[in-house]
């Protein structure tokens, strides 16, 4: 899925650091996918295995319905990580197909476009896991789009899982801590009682994520992701990333 998508994107020459982190163009998207996709994807999957997140996921599987809010979705990295996990659980346990709603929220059109493209590619290859799957996009900035989230809830029901993966920095550039807290607290009113949220941020922003977590009365912890990368010469390269996660339950 990732390889197929990369084939459709132009080279990443002359892409700035900012464009690589927050892609607005197709070449920026290539740089983002090559640099961050695998890292963020597996950080989300590792976090999904934490007790509160796993309970919310299992509760949704039992009910046969899962609603996901992917805030600052980029190219749907988090949503793809959840679907992949669902698919793996389904293959292991022969579960009934589940109905899934995903709302991708990002202000960058190229992120929403590539996110939709990758989700559709993924779903095509895991059709037995999903009974009915709907993906919608919101292109307005969080949290000033809360009324749209409310309307979405009225239409599709409350959310079971919500994610703010690597979006705290742009939020903090625009907002005060109290405004971020208020935005997330209002958003939680659109979530089911068992719902769980995940905030992810890299190791360089410890105080930012810890402050947001404390304000939300949620635990923030340091986590480690270890990846073994098989390069073209077939030698293994071990990479270790420390990051922070806040789980809101
Ligand atoms: C670093 S990317 C992270 C993408 C993805 N969540 C991940 O973990 O790989 C941050 C994304 O947040 C989006 N973004 C920034 N401010 C936003 C806002 N106020 N509301 C919604 N999306 C926003 C950017 O366009 C960008 O695609």
Q: What is the pLDDT of residues 189-206, one digit of tens each?
A: 999 998 999 999 999 999
Is residue 115 one of the residues assigned to a domain?
yes
Q: Which two tokens stand for residue 26?
A: 């197709």
CATH of the domain at 161: 3.40.50.150
pLDDT band at 26 (very low <50, low <70, confident <90, very high): very high
pLDDT above 90 for 91 = no
Using CB distances shorter than 6 Å, the residues near ligand 1 are 21-22, 36, 40, 72-74, 77-78, 105-108, 111, 141-142, 165-167, 170-171
User: Residue 220's closest CA among 164, 182, 176?
Assistant: 164
Is residue 31 one of the residues assigned to a domain?
no
Is residue 29 one of the residues assigned to a domain?
no
Long-range contacts of 217-223 (CB under 8 A, 24+ apart): 218/246, 218/247, 218/248, 218/249, 219/246, 219/247, 220/244, 220/245, 220/246, 221/245, 221/246, 223/43, 223/46, 223/47
Using the mean position of ligand 1's atoms as its centre, give its distance from the Cα of residue 93 in Å: 34
* pLDDT: which is higher, 16 or 229: 16
Using the mean position of ligand 1's atoms as its centre, give its distance from the Cα of residue 71 in Å: 7
Q: Give the integer Cα–Cα distance in Å for 134 and 128.
A: 15
The predicted pLDDT at position 89 comes to 87
Is residue 15 one of the residues assigned to a domain?
no
* pLDDT: which is higher, 227 or 110: 110
Is residue 227 one of the residues assigned to a domain?
yes
Using the mean position of ligand 1's atoms as its centre, give its distance from the Cα of residue 174 in Å: 13
* Total number of domains in the chain: 1
Residue 153: which domain range? 38-248
Is residue 6 one of the residues assigned to a domain?
no
Residues 6 or more apart from 197 whose CB is under 8 A from it? 161, 162, 163, 164, 184, 188, 191, 247, 248, 249
Start-to-end CA distance of the chain, whole Å, equals 32
Is residue 78 one of the residues assigned to a domain?
yes
pLDDT above 80 for 230 = no
Is residue 8 one of the residues assigned to a domain?
no
pLDDT above 80 for 143 = yes
Q: Among all chains, which residue has been given the structure tokens 């270790």?
A: 240
């Amino acid at each position: 899925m990732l390889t197929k998508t990369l084939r459709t994107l132009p080279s990443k020459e002359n892409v700035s650091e900012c464009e690589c982190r927050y892609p607005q163009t197709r070449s920026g998207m290539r740089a983002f996918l090559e640099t961050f996709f695998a890292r963020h994807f597996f950080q989300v999957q590792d976090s999904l295995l934490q007790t509160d997140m796993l309970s919310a996921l299992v509760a949704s599987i039992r009910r046969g319905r899962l609603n996901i809010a992917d805030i600052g979705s980029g190219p749907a990295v988090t949503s793809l990580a959840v679907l992949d996990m669902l698919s793996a659980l389904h293959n292991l346990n022969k579960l009934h197909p589940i109905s899934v709603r995903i709302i991708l929220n990002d202000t960058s059109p190229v992120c929403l476009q590539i996110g939709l493209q990758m989700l559709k590619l993924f779903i095509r290859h895991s059709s037995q896991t999903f009974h009915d799957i709907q993906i919608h996009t919101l292109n307005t900035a969080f949290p000033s789009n809360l009324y749209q989230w409310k309307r979405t809830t009225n239409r599709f029901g409350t959310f079971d899982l919500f994610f703010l993966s690597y979006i705290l920095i742009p939020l903090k550039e625009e907002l005060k801590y109290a405004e971020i807290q208020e935005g997330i607290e209002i958003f939680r009113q659109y979530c089911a009682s068992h719902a769980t949220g995940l905030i992810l941020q890299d190791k360089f922003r410890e105080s930012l994520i810890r402050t947001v977590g404390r304000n939300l009365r949620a635990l923030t912890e340091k986590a480690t992701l270890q990846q073994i990368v098989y390069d073209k010469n077939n030698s293994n390269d071990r990479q270790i990333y420390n990051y922070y996660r806040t789980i809101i339950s």
